[in-house]
A and B are shown apart, each in its own frame.
Chain A
Amino acid sequence: MNAVDVRDLTRTYRSGAEAVRGISFTVRTGAVFGLLGTNGAGKTSTMDVVAGLASPTAGTVRVLGHDPVRERRAVRPRTGVVLQSGGLPGELTVAEAVRMWAGTMRRPRPAAEAIEAVDLTERLDVPIKSLSGGERRRLDLAVALLGRPELLLLDEPTTGLDAESRRRIWTLIRTLVDDGTAVLLTTHHLEEAEELSDSLAILHRGRIVAEGTLDEVVAGHRAEIRWGTAAGRPPAGILDAGEAVEIDGRHVVVRTAALQRTLARVLRWAEDAAVTLPELRATPASLESAFLAVARAGDPAHTLEEVSR
């Protein structure tokens, strides 16, 4: 059984805005599914429905075999949720907040165990409002772990965190997945999606525009060879038909499906013509290039800064 099954999900707000437009995906048991997208792509709207906080306008959602809205009682004890907004009272201390949550659960794990898992044991008596952003996110995660969930729903769990805090949370998530927990993760960090996701979907303006494993999503997107424009374009005949050459600011860019062969030809041409290729760089196809390609296809204004902010 899949942990999450989403079929033809549509979510339209009262204003008429369509946040999610008929998307389908599954989250396998014991695996991480990453929902990647820019701000406003529909990630949180999707997450709200899966978490049972909102009803779908159309389509079906099953979480651990149940309807997350109508059968909340069956779903909630088996899921842990980290929302973007956090949602713990700032005036409570770490210990008080965890105790409060544990008190609402049928079979909570010991509070000390959850707090230790996120490395906050030293901060037990600190008010939540005095914690750093990274510590707050780890506390959010500790609360989500209290019920030993079979499914974790993580809505941008590392947004605004420094690199070290982010890595800590990634390690923790990976440990949980290794123990059999399924994870639905929304993120706009490409690195996070690459690091954690067993499979992923790129959401753009409410629609899934690419889906599969990392390799599957990246396959079909072109690698890139670039150098400074001072060396000029390669002569005709160097490249295969279908390989594109363009000027991107101060660089000549060659996009190719066969990186090694094309790079060898370019280097041979430079050697034979005694041309120096300044700032030469070869980049294999990546999630970044795949993401930018699909984002640009829908809206050329999307930039990498917006994606990975």
Chain B
Amino acid sequence: MTAVLHRTYSLGRAEVLLLRRNKTLLFTALLLPLGLIALLAGVEDGAPDDAAAAGMVSMFTGMVLLFVVYYTVLSASVARREEGVLQRLRTGEAADAEVLTALALPGSLVAAAQVVLFGLVGGAVIGLPVPGDPVVVLLAVLLGVVLFAVAGLLTAVISRTVESVQITSLPVLAVCLFGGGLVVPLDTMPDDLERLCGFTPLAPVLELAREGWLGTADLAGTAGQVGIVLAWIVAGVLLVRTSFRWSPRA
């Protein structure tokens, strides 16, 4: 176990260095969510009510998962594959799962740090309430990070170059932004469509985060949301195992 952690840490540390040196990716990963906090602080006048707070939590969590975790993992996977790095790593002692975990490490760390920062800044500047059920919030962030890291790896399968991820990421972004209620609030949709959107990948994660933050989560609802996210994760992991490409495509 120590050896696994040591190998993953060593590869992950290199990934963090590479993220720090990629200005575009670093901008997306750090400044976009920070800018979102500033925007929310500017728009909100006084302490937000529950509905407004729920909206902020959804918006922030969704943006972090999509533009920090998903986009960073996707870009890093394609870049390393096209440089031949992934193929070469497969000739070494690190197992496949360790290599892929290391790819997801920087985005996940940044996402976790930003959620904490959001809680602190949101509380101090916007008057956001303290999370009512932090365990559920933590669970939502954890499951969301794993799910969108897997989605990034999966999208890498169909991405030929680093430049092409701007196109290949669109379907996932569209489904998640729309299905997660970030573009159009879910409760304004027709019932059938709203129910269907509840099964898209981002929706149950945001629901968990929202309810955890507001302290309104109940066991049955939480179990249902967790079940949907786990189903997506299991399906994604199985697809990654069978279809992930390790050698350069371009």
Give A residues with C-beta under 8 Å from B.
Answer: 51-53, 73, 76-77, 79, 81, 83, 85-92, 96-97, 99-106, 147, 153
Contacts and interface: CB of A to CB of B under 8 A. Distances in A.
A85 B14 contact: no
A97 B84 CA distance: 14
A87 to B, nearest CB: 3
Given A53-B247, A96-B17, A103-B9, A91 B22 contact: yes
Contact of A89 (B18, B87, B93, B248): B18
6 contacts: A51-B91, A85-B83, A88-B83, A88-B85, A96-B17, A104-B89
A79 B94 CA distance: 13
A83 B91 contact: yes
Contacts of A81: 88, 91
Interface string B91-102: 111110010000
A96 B20 CA distance: 14
Given A86-B84, A96-B14, A103-B7, 17 more contacts: A52-B90, A53-B90, A73-B95, A77-B93, A83-B88, A86-B83, A87-B83, A87-B87, A87-B88, A89-B85, A91-B18, A97-B14, A99-B10, A103-B13, A104-B93, A104-B94, A153-B91
Given A81-B88, A104-B93, A91 B11 contact: no
Nearest to B92: A104
A103 B6 contact: yes
A90 B6 contact: no
A92 B91 contact: no
Determine which residue in A52, A86, A89, A147 has the highest number of CB atoms from chain B within 10 A of its CB, and name it.
A89
- Interface size of B as a range: 20 to 34
B210 interface: no
A99 B14 CA distance: 9
B3 A90 contact: no
Nearest to B9: A103
Nearest to B79: A89
Given A76-B91, A83-B87, A86-B84, A104 B10 contact: yes
Contacts of B83: 85-90
Interface string B1-31: 0010011011101100110011000000000
A87 B84 contact: yes
Given A92-B14, A92-B17, A103-B11, A85 B3 contact: no
Contacts of B98: 104
Contacts of A153: 91
A262 to B, nearest CB: 50
B93 A91 contact: no
The 6 A-B pairs of least Cβ separation, nearest first, read A103-B10, A87-B88, A85-B84, A87-B84, A81-B91, A100-B14
Contact of A92 (B18, B93, B246): B18
A14 to B, nearest CB: 13
A74 to B, nearest CB: 11
Contacts of A147: 93
Given A91-B18, A92-B14, A103-B6, A86 B93 contact: no
